[in-house]
């Protein structure tokens, strides 16, 4: 059997409540433990220190789709690549992320140099382990995926198991994606009992998710946003793609950050559906190039909050508690593109 690193014993030790028989897992991967005494710090370890340093400025980023955030209650266990905000559940849908690239299967997306800067704690996106997490479950940001890379994770969740390659634990392969893209993944899991440490690896991860009370999402019906190819074919759909990251930040980060980080009394800002909001509602489209900071600053200045959206056009509904409120026309000094599209 091919040895995988780190050993399952180390993976088990990361769980919130490690199994008492963790030492038995050591035998599953085989091979003697090397004697590291007297050996200088390996080059790959120094590289991990450098990668972590490069990704450090990302740590305080407000939460948004496409970002990888460590699990706050057990940072050593793993992280989550955020995909879509579910306004009904007030939860994020995403995929579990671990540092263990050697354990990639055909549904695993390996984090590459093109994703840099990314903290080395984010090495493998397990697209066969979609999860539902609350904002309070999320810690510091470890990295940010491009829209294309996020779309790759969605594609692997749906189609990764169709990979017809032979099981080869520890082997990383290049897989073609629709269009001209590619992804680095592993091979399918072995069906032979005890022959593939990646099977026990996923069992340990599911056990850890249960201990953390993090729900595994329905992999058969993922909440997938509009395909990137479609978003690039129409100007207004481009607005949907460009604004998506901003609304994720506004709805899930700014509205829920502690007061000392948000700079406002968050009790007065709630997302839609509460049934108690009163005031003036207006549908708006933001400019495609408007940044999250620009939108957030403008909302604060105008005393507005986003209560719905984006809809199929990419429009959002903003609420003013002032019944006499009239939005300024689109132009310099605000991120508006269209009012009441």
CA distance 53 to 236: 38
Q: Residue 3's pLDDT is what?
A: 67
Q: Residue 198's pLDDT is what?
A: 93
Mean pLDDT by 10 residues, the chain (341 residues): 72 80 48 50 71 85 91 93 89 95 95 93 95 93 94 94 89 88 92 84 93 82 36 31 36 33 32 53 84 85 84 78 86 85 75
Q: Residue 60's pLDDT is what?
A: 83
Locate 62 and state its tokens. 């407000």
Range of the domain at 204: 8-216
Contact, 231 vs 240, CB < 8 A?
yes
Q: Residue 277's pLDDT is what?
A: 54
Q: Residue 325's pLDDT is what?
A: 86
Q: Supply the CATH number for residue 24's domain.
A: 2.30.30.110
Give exposure, 283-318, as e/b (b: 16+ Cβ within 10 Å): bbbbbbebebebbbebbeeeebbbbbbbeeebbbbb
Q: Residue 10's pLDDT is what?
A: 78
Q: Residue 267's pLDDT is what?
A: 29
Classify residue 223: in a domain, yes or no: no
∠ CA 122-57-83, nearest 5°, is 45
Q: Residue 188's pLDDT is what?
A: 93
Same domain, residue pair 233 and 138? no
Same domain, residue pair 28 and 173? yes
Q: Residue 18's pLDDT is what?
A: 78
Classify residue 222: in a domain, yes or no: no
Strand (E) positions, 33-192? 67-71, 79-86, 91-98, 108-110, 124-133, 138-144, 173-176, 182-185
CA distance 231 to 312: 12
Same domain, residue pair 166 and 232? no
Chosen domain end from 184, 216, 248? 216
Q: Residue 278's pLDDT is what?
A: 73
Same domain, residue pair 46 and 96? yes
């Amino acid at each position: 059997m091919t040895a995988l690193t780190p050993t399952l014993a180390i993976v088990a030790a990361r769980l919130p409540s490690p199994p008492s028989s963790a030492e038995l897992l050591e035998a599953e991967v085989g091979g003697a433990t090397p004697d590291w005494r007297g050996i200088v710090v390996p080059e790959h370890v120094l590289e991990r220190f450098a990668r972590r340093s490069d990704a450090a400025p990302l740590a305080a980023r407000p939460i948004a789709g496409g970002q990888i955030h460590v699990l706050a209650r057990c940072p050593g266990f793993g992280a989550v690549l955020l995909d879509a905000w579910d306004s009904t559940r007030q939860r994020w849908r995403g995929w579990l992320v671990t540092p263990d690239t050697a354990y990639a299967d055909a549904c695993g997306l390996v984090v590459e140099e093109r994703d840099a800067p990314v903290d080395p704690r984010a090495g493998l996106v397990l697209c066969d382990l979609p999860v539902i997490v609350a904002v309070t479950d999320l810690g510091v940001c470890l990295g940010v995926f491009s829209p294309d890379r996020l779309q790759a994770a969605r594609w692997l969740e749906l189609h990764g198991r169709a990979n017809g390659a032979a099981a080869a634990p520890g082997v990383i392969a290049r897989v073609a994606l629709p269009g001209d893209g590619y992804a680095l993944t592993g091979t399918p899991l072995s069906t032979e009992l005890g022959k593939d440490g990646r099977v026990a690896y996923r069992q340990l991860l599911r056990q850890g998710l249960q201990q953390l009370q993090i729900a595994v999402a329905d992999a058969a019906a993922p909440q997938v946003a509009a395909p990137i190819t479609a978003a690039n074919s129409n100007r207004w759909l481009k607005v949907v793609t460009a604004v998506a990251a901003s609304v994720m930040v506004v709805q899930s980060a700014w509205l829920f950050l502690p007061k000392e980080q948000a700079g406002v009394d968050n009790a007065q800002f709630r997302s839609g559906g509460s049934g108690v909001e009163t005031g003036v509602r207006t549908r708006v489209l933001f400019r495609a190039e408007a940044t999250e900071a620009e939108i957030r600053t403008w909302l604060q200045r105008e005393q507005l909050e986003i209560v719905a959206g984006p809809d199929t056009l990419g429009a959002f509904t903003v609420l003013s508690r002032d019944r006499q409120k009239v939005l300024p026309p689109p132009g310099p000094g605000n991120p508006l593109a269209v009012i009441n599209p």
